[in-house]
């Protein structure tokens, strides 16, 4: 009888025992797959898609104190729309050990409102809303500018290039989904123009203090995670010119990005930032840490389940070896080498593990889908579009089956060695 025939016969005879022994592996792989699908989905669709992330080793530094909105609603003696970072503190950060670059983010301290885009986006009425504005260095956002467009100060009287926030686009897609059958993308938005009234807003009316309100034409040239969410970002030269026009501080620094020379200098740089009375915006990083921490905990639980499954496999095959001891001895007496018996036991374990792994992946995908659908259905109406929280990466199928094979193999090593060590003489005595 060939080795394949022996393997097929053993699997057919003990299929119920192997099935029960493999349930632990299926449960562990199913749990692990479900956790990874949801974890990858949360990271992709929530953190990267909605929160946005700065490049690794970059900190978003802001002044402590009141918000821009409170500055907008302040009295006429208000010098600007909220606190700023003084030039001395920026210079101190530049000289801090471990800092490679400090990129200031200017604020336009002038009320403004935007309107337009009715025809371009096929809207029932024009967009009309108060906005804020920040000034960004051209080189810092060069990669976010769409091909064929330029983000630079064009000079007074010219069309102003602006960047809009990726989060704002996401929120707009969600809000317009029911009325506008179009998905706003950076490529689609690039080149669209709208009007911006500088010096007036729907909330406050006219400008408080010197200067007269005037309208300018703006053109969207890209979408960026670095742009202000509730407004537009313009070249820093434009921001400085507008502030001067309305006799405000030309370069009010509302925040800054601090790029580290090496990531291990993070704690030292954060201490220096806090010593200046500034704060690090850790919102996106904290969200990522929480999600990664929960995912790590769930993966640990699934790993423990797999270890337990390997122990169950080992116990199952030890029992099978004990019951089939006479059979293995007869194989040896008939001339079967030890390695044949060894391969038979391991092959049975690998087949059982592979089937259990495949079933576990299917169960994991199904459980993740059920959780995703129930979660999305239970969520309240959000200001942004969230259509998925799970990522069904095909690589997880290979990972699940591969881990199942590994743990089944490890669990069967001991029983296979014991089966191969059966003495033919003992088997003949038992017969």
Structural domain boundaries in the chain:
3-51+287-430, 65-276
Rounded to whole angstroms, the Cα distance separating 49 from 45 reads 5
- pLDDT band at 410; cut points 50, 70, 90: confident
Q: Compute the average pLDDT of residues 263-284.
A: 82
Q: How far is CA 21 from CA 211, 256, 308, 318, 338, in A?
A: 81, 58, 11, 11, 25
> Which pLDDT does position 74 carry in this prediction?
44
The residue ranking higher by pLDDT, 157 or 174, is: 157
Of 17, 4, 31, the residue nearest 404 (C-alpha): 31
* pLDDT of 225 strictly over 80: yes
- The full length of the chain comes to 431
The average confidence (pLDDT) of the chain is 82
Q: Of the ranges 216-220, 325-329, 354-358, which one carries the lowest mean pLDDT score? A: 325-329
> Which pLDDT does position 209 carry in this prediction?
47
**Percent of the chain at pLDDT exceeding 70:** 84
> Which pLDDT does position 324 carry in this prediction?
79
> Which pLDDT does position 103 carry in this prediction?
93
pLDDT per position as a tens digit, 293-316: 777 888 888 788 778 877 887 888
Q: DSSP secondary structure string, 330-377?
A: HHHHTT--HHHHHHHHHHHHHHHHHHHHHHHHHHHHHHHHHHHHHHHH
Rounded to whole angstroms, the Cα distance separating 203 from 388 reads 36
Q: DSSP secondary structure string, 6-20?
A: HHHHHHHHTHHHHHH
- pLDDT band at 78; cut points 50, 70, 90: very low
For residue 73, what are the contacts with CB-CB under 8 A and spacing of at least 6?
203, 204
* pLDDT of 68 strictly over 50: no
Surface-to-core class of residue 299, CB atoms within 10 Å of its CB (0-12 exposed, 13-18 middle, 19+ buried)? middle
Rounded to whole angstroms, the Cα distance separating 287 from 309 reads 33
């Amino acid at each position: 009888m060939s080795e394949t025939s022996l393997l097929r016969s053993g699997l057919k005879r003990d299929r119920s025992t192997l099935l029960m022994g493999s349930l632990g592996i299926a449960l562990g792989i199913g749990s692990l797959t479900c956790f990874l699908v949801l974890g990858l989905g949360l990271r992709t669709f929530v953190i990267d898609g909605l929160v946005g992330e700065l490049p690794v080793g970059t900190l978003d530094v802001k002044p402590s104190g009141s918000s821009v909105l409170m500055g907008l609603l302040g009295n006429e003696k208000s010098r600007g729309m909220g606190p700023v970072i003084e030039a001395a503190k920026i210079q101190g950060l530049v000289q801090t050990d471990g800092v490679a670059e400090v990129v200031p983010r200017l604020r336009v301290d002038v009320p403004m409102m935007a309107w337009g885009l009715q025809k371009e986006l096929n809207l029932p009425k024009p967009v009309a809303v108060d906005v804020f504005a920040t000034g960004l260095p051209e080189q810092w956002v060069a990669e976010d500018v769409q091909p064929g467009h330029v983000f630079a100060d064009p000079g007074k009287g010219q069309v102003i290039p602006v960047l809009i926030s990726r989060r704002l686009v996401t929120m707009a897609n969600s809000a317009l989904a029911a009325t506008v059958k179009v998905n706003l993308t950076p490529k689609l938005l690039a080149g669209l123009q709208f009007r911006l009234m500088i010096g007036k807003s729907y909330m406050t009316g006219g400008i408080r203090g010197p200067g007269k309100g005037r309208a300018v034409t703006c053109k969207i040239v890209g979408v960026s995670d670095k742009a202000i969410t509730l407004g537009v970002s313009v070249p820093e030269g434009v921001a400085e010119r507008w502030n001067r026009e309305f006799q405000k501080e030309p370069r009010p620094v509302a925040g800054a990005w601090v790029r580290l020379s090496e990531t291990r200098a993070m704690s030292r740089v954060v201490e220096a930032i806090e010593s200046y009375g500034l704060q690090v915006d850790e919102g996106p990083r904290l969200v990522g840490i929480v999600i990664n921490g929960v995912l790590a905990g769930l993966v640990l639980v699934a790993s423990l389940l797999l270890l337990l499954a390997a122990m169950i496999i080992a116990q199952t095959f030890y029992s099978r070896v004990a019951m089939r001891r006479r059979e293995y001895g007869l194989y040896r007496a008939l001339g079967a080498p030890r390695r044949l018996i060894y391969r038979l036991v391991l092959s049975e374990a690998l087949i059982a593990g592979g089937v259990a792994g495949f079933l576990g992946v299917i169960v994991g995908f199904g459980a993740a889908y059920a959780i995703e659908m129930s979660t999305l259905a239970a969520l309240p109406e959000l200001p942004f579009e969230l259509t998925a929280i799970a990522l069904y990466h095909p690589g997880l199928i290979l990972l699940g089956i591969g881990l199942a094979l590994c743990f089944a193999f490890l669990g069967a090593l001991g029983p296979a060695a014991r089966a191969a060590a059966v003495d033919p003489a003992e088997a003949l005595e038992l017969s």
